[in-house]
Amino acid sequence: MISRNIDIEKAAERISKNIISTELIESQQINEKFGIRVFVKPECKQKTGSFKYRGAYNFISKLYDKYNNKLNVVCFSSGNHGQAVAAVAKKFNIKATVIVPDTAPDYKILNIRKYDPAIIIHKGSRESMEKRAHDLAKSNGSILVKPFDNEEIIAGQGTIGAEICKDMEKKNLKPDAILVPCSGGGLAAGIALGVKKVYPNTIIHPVEPEYYDDTRKSLIKGKIISNSMKYHSICDALLVPKPGLITFEINKILLDQGFVVSDKEVIEAMKIGLNNFKLILEPGGAVGLAVLLKKQLNRFYKNIVIIASGGNISIENHQQLLKYRKESNKDE
C-alpha cells in the first residue's frame, strides 16, 4: 500500500493552463512493422523540451503561493530539470540557481542560460553535486527543487498518466502496457499512479540505458541497488547512481519488469522517432522506442504507449548520431 500524499488531480488543476497537453500519436507503418498498435506520448514537445516542466511547475507554483513571492530556488541537474526549473522560476519572477555537471551537453547549458538563472558548473560526482546543492540551499535560505524524489514533482509528472487515460478512453482502447524512460524514477512513479487509478491492470515498464539499469536491478532485488557510474552512455538525461527513496517506495509496488537498451538501439530508435513520428528525440527520450527493436512486445500486448520524454539535443548532434549509426551499419 502506498501511503504518500501524491495528488495528481490537484497537480493537473494547478498546471493545466501552463503546460502543453501532448496528444498521443501513432504511425501505421510502425504498427504494421511490429505487429502491435503503438502510441507515442511526445513530451519532447512540452515546454522546455521535456516532461520535466510539469513537475517543476507544480512544485514551484505551490511554493510560490505559500511563500507569497519571498522565494529563491536551487536545483542540480544534467540539463532538462535545470532548464525546467529556470523557466518556471523566471515565469514567477523568482531567483533560481542551477548546478550542472561539467559533463552536461553544451546545448543543454545554453538552453538553461536562456532563462537567466545563476549557473554553477560542478566538477565531481553526482553525489557531490547533490550535496553542493543541499549546502547552498541551506546557506542562503533557498528551496531545493529535487529532480525526482519529491511528492509534488511526482504528482506533476503524474499528469502525463492522467492525460494518457483520457486519450485512450476517447479511442475506446485500454493501454496494455506503458514504456517509461527511467532515471531516478519520478516519471515512472507519477505515470504509474496516474494510470493505475483508471487502468489497474496496465503494465508499467521502466526503460533504462545499458549499465544504468538501477531501477530494474532494484525491482528484482526488492531493495535499492546503485550503478557504478563508470560506463559511458549517450543517454545523459538518464544517468543517476540509484533510484530515489520515495520513487522506489512507489515503483517497487506499481512497476513491472524493466527493460535495458544499448546505445546502438537508442540511435535506431531516434531514427524511428524522426522518420515515422516526425520527432527530434534526445537519446534518453528515445529509450522507450528502442524497446520496440527487441520485437518482443507483440507476443504479450495489443496496445502500448511509449513516452518520448525529451528532445533537448542540437540538430547537429542529432544528425551526427544518426550519421554515425548509418556509417556503422556499413561496416557491419
pLDDT of residue 326: 57
The one-letter amino acid at 182: C
Q: Using CB atoms within 10 A of its CB, is residue 329 exposed (0-12), middle (13-18) or buried (19+)?
A: exposed
DSSP class of 113: H
Expressed as residue numbers, the domain containing 293 is 8-50+151-331
Domain shared by 199 and 306, yes or no: yes
Give domain status of residue 250, yes or no: yes
Domain shared by 176 and 263, yes or no: yes
Distance of alpha carbon 62 from alpha carbon 161, whole angstroms: 20
Report residue 117's pLDDT band, with 50, 70 and 90 as the boundaries: very high
DSSP class of 68: T
> Could you confirm whether 271 is annotated as catalytic?
no
Give domain status of residue 233, yes or no: yes
pLDDT tens for 9-26 read: 999 999 999 999 999 999
pLDDT of residue 3: 61
Domain shared by 212 and 276, yes or no: yes
- Give the Å distances, CA to CA, from 77 to 64, 74, 294: 21, 10, 31
Strands of the sheet containing 303-308, edge to edge, are 37-42, 303-308, 177-181, 203-209, 259-261
- Last residue of one domain, picked from the residues 144, 159, 174: 144
> Could you confirm whether 21 is annotated as catalytic?
no
Q: What are phi and psi of 226, to 5 degrees?
A: -95, 155
Give domain status of residue 1, yes or no: no
Domain shared by 100 and 184, yes or no: no
Grid cell digits, residue 149:
524524489
pLDDT tens for 290-303 read: 999 988 888 899 99
Closest CA to 207 of 324, 292, 145: 292
Distance of alpha carbon 282 from alpha carbon 85, whole angstroms: 19
pLDDT of residue 325: 58
Residue spans of alpha helices (H) in 92-213: 106-113, 126-140, 151-170, 186-196
Of the listed 41, 47, 50, 52, which one is catalytic?
Answer: 52
pLDDT over 80 (residue 328): no
Handedness of CA 171, 159, 225, 232 (dihedral sign): positive
pLDDT of residue 168: 98
Q: How many CA atoms lie within 13 A of 234 on its CB side?
A: 25
Distance of alpha carbon 129 from alpha carbon 135, whole angstroms: 10
Q: How many domains does the chain have?
A: 2
Domain shared by 192 and 280, yes or no: yes
Of the listed 61, 78, 142, 183, which one is catalytic?
Answer: 78
pTM, full prediction:
0.95
- Last residue of one domain, picked from the residues 144, 178, 199: 144
* Least confident piece of the model among 7-11, 68-72, 169-173: 68-72
Q: What's 108's domain CATH number? A: 3.40.50.1100
**Cβ neighbours of residue 97 closer than 8 Å, sequence gap 6 or more:** 72, 73, 74, 75, 117, 118, 119, 120, 136, 142
Grid cell digits, residue 112:
538553461
Domain shared by 107 and 172, yes or no: no
Mean pLDDT for the stretch of residues 203-232: 96
pLDDT of residue 331: 47
